[in-house]
Amino acid sequence: MITAIVLINAELKKLANLGDELAGIDNVAEVYSVTGDYDFVAIIRVKEYGDVADTVTRHIAQLDGVINTNTMLAFQCFSRYDMERIWSIGLEQ
């Protein structure tokens, strides 16, 4: 599975609704509203690299209110959360 992180700048007047619109796009697994230089971070998960380009250029970037995007491809995932879930399978909490 290929994971891409998309940093998104948006128009101020579109911020209230854009998160839900982004989350409704196929291949978008998660969307976060964030502070800092960007307004949203979208996590994309696809099977092929071409699907990243299609999702960003034909869907995310075309939404009304999206000013620009910055896409990063992930190489590896390091997550304590995932490891805790794997090792806790079958254990009583």
- Chain centroid to Cα 79, Å, comes to 16
All structural domains of the chain, each given as residue ranges with its CATH number in brackets, are 2-87 (3.30.70.920)
Is the model's pLDDT at 84 over the cut of 90? no
Here the tokens at position 68 are: 């620009």
Length of the chain: 93
- Rounded to 5 degrees, φ, ψ at 4 are -125, 145
With H, G, I as helix, E, B as strand and everything else as coil, classify residue 44: strand
Partnered with residue 45 across adjacent β-strands are: 3
Is the model's pLDDT at 86 over the cut of 80? no
12 vs 50: CA distance, rounded Å: 30
30-81 residue pLDDT tens = 999 999 999 999 999 999 999 999 999 999 999 999 999 999 999 988 877 6
